[in-house]
């Protein structure tokens, strides 16, 4: 199945192209042609434009500020945005819209939807994720951060780690233990916690690329209103799994679009510097092409299941495992294609304004682009659930293997 095969897809594509032609500057060649400061400024202006036209959360119902698009139309939108090299939002929108926004639509009370969803779209509230802990990592059931009721408020104590975008957020959704005596997967709740209070401390972590995109977050008697629990008190495990399904599932149909654009840039580089004539590198480039095609077919299969009424489930683990390991291989290949140029960082570094794992559309084939992307790709098999966790999900939930 291709997105173009579905009834109505091409009509919607024409509408999106009219929107892009009207809103983008003349001669636009992609956000990858801009330096970091200009790319950030463009992303904020572009976010406001998407909000104005309902394209920021395109699948949300119109009553909550979305465009009410189908998942298929959302894929067409992503394809056209990728084609011209514009982002679908800013960095924290992955957490604000894809994760907690979609989860509130599924589990939230009407009061929570009416309060939080408009503030997410306006940009007043920008979210980060409080899941991983130093002693638990991706094993969420092993978390130890806790919350207790004190009058009309929850009081939160504990630590989270690998909190991407925490330095840019003013709200955090936090998994905490609310029943200390319950079994591991029970007694957990998902709380919505404001970060601009004395009991929340964010400490940036510097990675090997020299950036500080993820953080430690410490809670010391931090507070949030009693009604800021999503789903049932002590029933947060189901809510947490729904959120992870959106995180891993929505990427299945959209990420292959970005990976294909990235691979095309790598093929151009290989042709230009002669690496494409090396038979070993040619085999690896062909293998990368097959890898992207496999991802594309898996994404379309996920989309087809979604269109048939099946929400993201454990099958999202297959996609997450596949793309994260693919990207490490293809960026290692890029360094081999660069050959000795991979020893020196030169040119434009990725701006990461899209939060996709590839460099932005329009970025030059500089060594800085590929070296930085290769380093960032190392974390792909850790965040959003490690490869080990994905294999466990596949074994237990899809293959029926014993625990």
Catalytic residues: 247
In Å, how far from its chain's centre is CA 275? 32
- Whole-angstrom CA distances from 185 to 41, 251, 382 are 43, 26, 21
Q: Give the C-alpha separation, 135 to 185, whole Å.
A: 16
> Looking only at Cα atoms, what is the longest distance across the chain?
71
Distinct helix (H) and strand (E) counts, the chain: 11, 8
Q: Give the C-alpha separation, 335 to 370, whole Å.
A: 7
Q: What are phi and psi of 191, to 5 degrees?
A: -110, 150
Q: Give the C-alpha separation, 50 to 60, whole Å.
A: 13
Q: Give the C-alpha separation, 103 to 201, whole Å.
A: 25
The size of the chain, in residues, is 403
How is 184-242 classified by DSSP, letter by letter?
A: TTSSEEEEEEESSSTTEEEEEE--TTS---EEEEEEEEEEEETT-EESSTTBHHHHHHH
Q: Give the helix ranges, DSSP H, for 308-400.
A: 316-338, 367-377, 387-393
């Amino acid at each position: 199945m291709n997105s173009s095969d579905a009834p109505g897809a091409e009509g919607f594509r024409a509408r999106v192209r009219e929107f892009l032609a009207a809103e983008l500057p003349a001669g636009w060649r992609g956000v990858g042609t801009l330096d970091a400061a200009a790319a950030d400024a463009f992303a904020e202006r572009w976010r406001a434009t998407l909000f104005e036209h309902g394209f920021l959360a395109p699948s949300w119902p119109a009553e909550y500020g979305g465009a009410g698009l189908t998942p298929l139309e959302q894929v067409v939108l992503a394809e056209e945005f990728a084609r011209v090299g514009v982002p679908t939002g800013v960095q924290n929108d992955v957490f604000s819209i894809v994760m907690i926004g979609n989860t509130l639509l599924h589990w939230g009370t009407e009061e929570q939807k009416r309060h939080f969803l408009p503030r997410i779209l306006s940009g007043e509230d920008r979210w980060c994720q409080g899941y991983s802990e130093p002693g638990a990592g991706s094993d969420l059931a092993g978390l130890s951060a806790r919350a207790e009721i004190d009058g009309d408020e929850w009081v939160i104590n504990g630590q989270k780690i690998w909190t991407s975008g925490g330095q840019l957020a003013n709200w955090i959704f936090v998994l905490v233990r609310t029943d200390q005596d319950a079994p591991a997967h029970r007694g957990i709740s998902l709380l919505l916690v404001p970060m601009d209070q004395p009991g929340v401390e964010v400490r940036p972590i510097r990675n090997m690329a020299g950036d500080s995109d993820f953080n430690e977050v410490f809670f010391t008697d931090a507070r949030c209103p009693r009604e800021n629990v999503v789903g049932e008190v002590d029933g947060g495990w189901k809510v947490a799994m729904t959120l992870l399904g959106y995180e891993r599932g929505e990427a299945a149909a959209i990420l292959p679009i970005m990976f294909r654009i990235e691979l095309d840039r790598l093929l151009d580089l290989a042709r230009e510097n002669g690496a494409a004539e090396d038979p070993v590198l040619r085999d690896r480039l062909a293998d990368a092409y097959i890898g992207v095609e496999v991802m594309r077919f898996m994404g379309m299969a996920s989309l087809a299941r979604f269109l048939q009424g099946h929400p993201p489930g454990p099958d999202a683990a297959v996609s997450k495992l596949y793309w994260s390991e693919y990207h490490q291989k293809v960026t290692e290949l890029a360094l081999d294609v660069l050959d000795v140029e991979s020893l020196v960082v030169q040119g434009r570094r990725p701006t990461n304004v899209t939060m996709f794992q590839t460099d932005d559309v329009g970025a030059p084939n500089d060594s800085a682009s590929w070296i930085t992307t290769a380093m960032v790709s190392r974390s792909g098999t850790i965040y959003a659930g490690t490869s080990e966790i994905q294999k466990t999900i596949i074994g237990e939930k899809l293959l029926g293997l014993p625990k």
